[in-house]
Amino acid sequence: MSKETNKWNELLTIPDAAEYLNISHWTVRKWIRLKRIPYMQVNSRVIRIEKKDLDQFVKETKIPAKKIS
């Protein structure tokens, strides 16, 4: 499998992205509307989200745990 083919496999639909993040598809739609996560608008009805962008979003929004002493 070439890298180009593999790249297309990393595109997720909104329900797939929601399942990947274990959240509601409504939350994904809200984040898209608020421009919190990058997405591709294929046409007026089709939206795709790259898995690497979701991973980056999670990494950037993670709040580190406090050490309790």
Give the start-to-end residue ranges of the domains of the chain.
3-60
At 64 the pLDDT is: 85
pLDDT confidence of residue 66: 86
| Residue 54 burial (10 A CB sphere; 0-12, 13-18, 19+) | buried
Question: What per-residue confidence (pLDDT) applies to 62?
Answer: 87
CA within 13 Å, CB half, 9: 6
pLDDT tens-digit readout, 12-38: 999 999 999 999 999 999 999 999 999
Q: How confident is the model at residue 5 (pLDDT cuts 50, 70, 90)?
A: low
Which tokens in the block code for residue 28? Answer: 């994904």
Query: How much is the pLDDT for 2?
Result: 54
Q: Is domain 3-60 given the CATH code 3.30.70 in the classification?
A: no
Q: Is the pLDDT of residue 6 over 90?
A: no
